Amino acid sequence: MAYDEDLANRIRELVLSEPGVTEKKMFGGLAFLINGNMSVSASGKGGLLLHVDPDETDALLAKPHAHPFEMSGRTMQGWLRVDPEGVKTKAQLQRWVTRGVDYAKSLPNKR
């Protein structure tokens, strides 16, 4: 499944003004990086893939439409999937994107 280009455009509108933002195809989707750190992605499996503070993972998984991100059968702390239903409105999307961007900005630059 290809990533949702409309969702990618909606994310782009929210992150475009961030310093150091770049786009990169990753994990089957279109990721938005801040200073080389992945923040949020329009996932190839639908919805968002989000990078967050690992210490907040469990609390965020309690939110509607949030699920653990698994890679090679292993759940990854600090990574979440958010169903398309959880990002239908601008406010919903903004909340998740802000979390991913804020976390990426807290990390050391990769470039």
Q: What is the CATH number of the domain that holds 65?
A: 3.90.1150.30
| Residue 13, in any domain of the structure | yes
Residue 48 in domain:
yes
Domain-embedded: residue 14: yes
Beta bridge partners of 66: 82
**Predicted confidence (pLDDT) per residue in 38-75, tens digit:** 999 999 999 999 999 999 999 999 999 999 998 888 99
What pTM value is reported for the model? Answer: 0.93
pLDDT value for 1: 61
Q: Which domain holds residue 88?
A: 5-106
Please indicate, yes or no, if residue 45 is contained in any of the structural domains: yes
Distance separating alpha carbons of residues 90 and 75, to the nearest angstrom: 28
111 domain-assigned: no
Domains: count for the chain:
1
